[in-house]
Amino acid sequence: MIARPQHIAHPSAPVLTTGRLRLRMPRYEDFAHRLAFYASDRAVWEGGPYTAREAWRLFASEVGQWPLMGFGPFSVDDIGSGQYLGEVGIYQPEGYPEPELGWFVVDGAEGRGIAAEAARAVMEWAAQVFGWDHIDNYIDPGNQRSIALGLRLGGVMVDAPGDDPTDVVIRHDLRALA
Amino acid sequence: MTYAMPLPIPTLTTERLILRAPREADFPAMLAFNESPRTAFVGGKRDRQLVWRGLLANIGLWALRGHGLFSVDTHKGDFIGRVGVLFHDGWDEPELGWHLFDGFEGHGYCVEAARAARADYHARLTLAPLISYIDPANPKSEAVARRLGAAPERETVFFDKTINVWRHPAPEAPQ
């Protein structure tokens, strides 16, 4: 099992940069993108579609993980233009057995490897800051694109608990990143 | 803009109370409050998962908008309730809100904490006067609002209920 850190090293998201991306603490303006995503058919894999009120509660509560848990969502911007592209982060709502790696990208930013590039940066950060030896994705079995991404990142399907009993759990080995 | 990232969340000290950042140890008292009839005027009983999400969402509000509910302790260390400025997405305006847990009413704690939270909000963010959303069937909260100098301004529909919007006085101009 991996566990939440005893000491909160980062009460808000640090800035992580990759070749094409800047990952940073979410801000209020980012909510509009979540709202659009949660209202769309793509949200069906995340337990949606959600109303505006539910979407806000999810967004605010996940941002609120940072001061309490020391990890949470990173908003992902294009490093050149500053354009918002999506979110990659570590999530642990009530009932999750462990902190989970998750992602979404906005319409139009798909198919460019954005989520993969951002997820690699977050995994490397988590390995170094928390010393975790693995992190899992919990993915709805119908969400083939996310499953494919998890496997492309080097993850393997494991028989471990997720959020929902039917979830596909993909485990990433972080030991080489620490 | 108001995403002034007030992390760490400020700590306010009044004569009898300490208004501080929420923490995980607040959860059991919030769950007990959720189980009590006192939750009727703040949205009613919720699932345990949503109470936890509520604790986190309030911290998220601090991170995203620069204000939120403080957890309120007595100087002795009793956690007595939550008071502060809320402004969740879709609300008309920032709202000064309060609720005390069972057994801590009748001491004027709500008024004392709300005055401190209101002054902190105006000092750090804006001088625009706050509102409070109050159900007309909640005379105790109306009495708190009156003691804070607020007055009823209009009716509104809030979470499918017709309730009153109370307007707080403008803060005194900075000296």
Q: What is the pLDDT of residues A51-99, one digit of tens each?
A: 999 999 999 999 999 999 999 999 999 999 999 999 999 999 988 999 9
CATH code of B83's domain: 3.40.630.30
Q: What ipTM was predicted for this assembly? A: 0.90
DSSP bridge partners of A90: A101
Please give the domain boundaries of chain A with CATH numbers for all domains: 16-173 (3.40.630.30)
Tell me if B123 is assigned to some domain.
Answer: yes
Nearest CA in chain B to A31: B89
Spell out a b/e string for B10-41, using b for 16 or more CB atoms within 10 Å of the CB, else e. Answer: eebebeebbbbbbeeebbebbeebbeeebbeb
Tell me if B42 is assigned to some domain.
Answer: yes
Tell me if B154 is assigned to some domain.
Answer: no
pLDDT at B4: 40
Nearest to A11 among B8, B22, B50 (CB): B8
Minimum distance, in Å, between the CA of residue A78 and any CA atom of chain B: 21
Tell me if B49 is assigned to some domain.
Answer: yes
Tell me if B72 is assigned to some domain.
Answer: yes
pLDDT at A1: 82
Does residue A49 have a cis peptide bond before it, meaning omega lies within 30 degrees of 0?
yes
Q: What is the pLDDT of residues B12-41, one digit of tens each?
A: 999 999 999 999 999 999 999 999 888 877
| Cross-chain Cβ contact B53/A61 below 8 Å | yes
Tell me if B17 is assigned to some domain.
Answer: yes
- Residues of chain B whose beta carbon is less than 8 angstroms from a beta carbon of chain A are 1-3, 5, 7-9, 21-24, 48-50, 52-65, 88-90
Set of chain B residues whose Cβ sits within 8 Å of the Cβ of A27: 3, 64
- Domain extent for B108: 12-127
Quote the number of domains for chain B. Answer: 1
Measured between alpha carbons, how far is A158 from A76 in angstroms, rounded to an integer?
A: 28
